Amino acid sequence: MQSSNGRPGGDQGGPESSAEHHEAARRASREVSYDDPWYDALASGWGESDGTGVPAPFVPAAPEGREAAAVRTRDVYLEVQRSAAFQEVRSRYRRFVVPGVAVFFTWYVGYVITATTAPGFMARPVAGALNVAMLAGLGQFLTTFLFTWAYARHARLRRDRAALDLRWDTQELARSVQGGGS
């Protein structure tokens, strides 16, 4: 027999309530061990409970081997950041985004300033009940969609392939530095 929430009824031997279900899941998660140095780190702030009811005073330090590997991995990322390929991807990004943001911001601020300083102009009818303010407001939506489309197209045609190549190269370099490389 199924209960109204889709779980088996109490006669099946499962948890009777959602609180018992969550407690069982929490007990099971404590038994699982992850090889992730951030697994036990606090998610939102210092001094929160570490699961035992006692505030966690600090995040435990990583073992010595991990620190050396992290330093080497950091050097790989810095090397990639300084590479000509990465600088070209960033340059292509900036050449599109900076003018796009400037144009869009100017258009938006122009709309707001015109709406507040020239209400007579904005109220001027264009066709029937449609006035200049409505057309400009709809134009804001239209330009948002156009800029989004243009950004996605620019990224697909000018940056994605180079960025993906950089990502694969970076991962291979990081893997080889950490000792697990091919």
In this predicted structure, the answer to whether residue 169 has a pLDDT above a threshold of 90 is no
Average pLDDT for residues 129-134, to the nearest whole number?
Answer: 92
For 8, the 3-state DSSP assignment is strand
pLDDT at 36: 52
In this predicted structure, the answer to whether residue 152 has a pLDDT above a threshold of 80 is yes
Average pLDDT for residues 42-54, to the nearest whole number?
Answer: 56
Burial 25-37 (b: 16+ CB within 10 A, else e): eeeeeeeeeeeee
